């Protein structure tokens, strides 16, 4: 397996890399690539794409929309935090600024779909959050489904209804998140599930 981890200049990227490597097989390779250094060859050679957290807003990362839409049928894609928001916006969802940022907090997340990346997990988990933007549930495109939410109803995870494309608002690599290894392992092993 060739995993491409796209780094959006975030301090959590190497924590994410550590998590990925902790669930990989010895023959798997992981390449970290700056969001400014993405090439068609790197994308086409990958068997998994992970879009990291990062500063800024998804509106500033519109170049990802073409990447996601170009590879949606061939390569499973996971977006984390900003990556999750980018995936949502690439399909027409809207993001909004939270009135109260969720920076460095742990909160309960309710999982509503136990397939794919949430397979084998209980319905309520604790998750580490570091974000001030969120995907709006209003007018969510029909191709996306909500797979987890917080107690206030904020979207915490989505998946595409047809393709292996997933987004999580919370940070699976955070020490505050339960089951981070299971989430990552489930994503990396999608074809074997």
Active site residues: 81, 171, 173
Q: How far apart are CA 94 and CA 134, in angstroms?
A: 9
From 186, 134, 148, 161, select the one nearest 19 (Cα to Cα).
Answer: 186
For residue 186, count CB atoms less than 10 angstroms from its CB and return exposed for 0-12, middle for 13-18, buried for 19 or more: buried
Q: How far apart are CA 134 and CA 65, in angstroms?
A: 17
From 86, 82, 106, 103, select the one nearest 177 (Cα to Cα).
Answer: 106
**Which residues touch 42 (CB under 8 Å, ≥6 apart)?**
4, 31, 33
Q: How far apart are CA 99 and CA 132, in angstroms?
A: 8
Contact 47, 2 (CB under 8 A): yes
Contact 171, 130 (CB under 8 A): yes
Q: How far apart are CA 170 and CA 179, in angstroms?
A: 12
């Amino acid at each position: 397996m060739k995993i491409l981890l796209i780094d959006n200049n975030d301090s959590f990227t190497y924590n994410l890399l550590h998590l990925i490597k902790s669930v990989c097989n010895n023959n798997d390779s992981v390449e970290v690539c700056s969001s400014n250094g993405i090439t068609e060859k790197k994308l086409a050679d990958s068997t998994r794409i992970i879009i990291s957290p990062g500063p800024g807003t998804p509106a500033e990362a519109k170049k990802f929309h073409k990447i996601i839409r170009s590879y949606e049928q061939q390569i499973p894609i996971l977006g984390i935090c900003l990556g999750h928001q980018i995936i949502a916006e690439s399909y027409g969802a809207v993001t909004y600024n939270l009135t109260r940022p969720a920076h460095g907090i742990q909160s309960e997340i309710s999982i509503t779909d136990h397939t794919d990346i949430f397979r084998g997990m209980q319905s309520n988990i604790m998750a580490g959050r570091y974000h001030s933007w969120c995907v709006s549930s209003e007018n969510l495109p029909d191709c996306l489904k909500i797979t987890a939410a917080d107690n206030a109803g904020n979207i915490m995870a989505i998946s595409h209804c047809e393709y292996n494309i997933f987004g999580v608002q919370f940070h699976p690599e955070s020490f505050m998140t339960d089951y981070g290894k299971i989430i990552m392992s489930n994503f990396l092993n999608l074809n074997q599930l």
